[in-house]
Structure 1
């Protein structure tokens, strides 16, 4: 078996490989190295994948969660003497936890505007120090340099499914404005901080 690769699709893997000419079935085994991630799939598995199903579906879909996974794919051929490449193995590293956030803005009875940003983690994780940047104009900020830091969220533990909400004054102004969150000190180990939808980053 050659050209083994896996493409992450949230908590699923799309597993792809090049079939030997004589193989019609492949044996696929996997083991989840971290069971703390999301995903309802089993810790390990051993299945047979038919070539016609693989080609119809465009690969093999495995629900394995977001943790690290070890895969082994072996071609099964009718003739044991046939020339095959043998089993192929692949370790897929863990995906970082995902933290969704959604900003909103409202006006108080006094006329002052207030912004609220709600963070929700899909799995429990350590939220890094965050900066919430206010940008004005047609385009949303892509870094802290593209606007004004209105609020800083201190690092803390964020349990799965328990929203964290912060609130702060929103400056008055005309035209489009945006609220975007960025890690104060980006690191490879940070969770994936992402908006629930890009259009929701525009608050006015």
Structure 2
């Protein structure tokens, strides 16, 4: 790294992603705020593979050094939620994983953002595919979003099985997830 580093590191991070040097990116992001900001900027990249990899690397960063990501939760979480609606399965799955991880590790910070995303989550309960509905349910539970309770109750009897990228959430009936969420909302 040069003595005087100006501007975004987005292009450098993108080249490292293309070279699949993810651990190196995590290490850079821990040490250099501009590298972390460059990684976050790549969530808006035009290439789905780059967006998916940026989500994956941010997830790795949260697992290894949550303290580095915490100050950026307000920027990352809404974008990750937005990307859960992406048609690309790689982007969608990594966005779900990152969103859940952020909600799980930083519940207070994420709950403070509830007002900015709750309408989107409720909308997904009626318009999303079954897997997106399952994810929205899980996040509503994590957010303790009681305002969504009526929408959650509507899904209790749904037998469609969902496949989510979380432990214990593969081939689970949507209604079962809705019941678990209702317990959290009570």
TM-score category (smaller protein)? under 0.3
Q: Return the TM-score normalized by structure 1.
A: 0.24
Higher helix share: 2
Q: Which has the higher contact order (CA 8 A, sep 6+)?
A: 1
Larger Rg: 1
Q: Return the TM-score normalized by structure 2.
A: 0.26
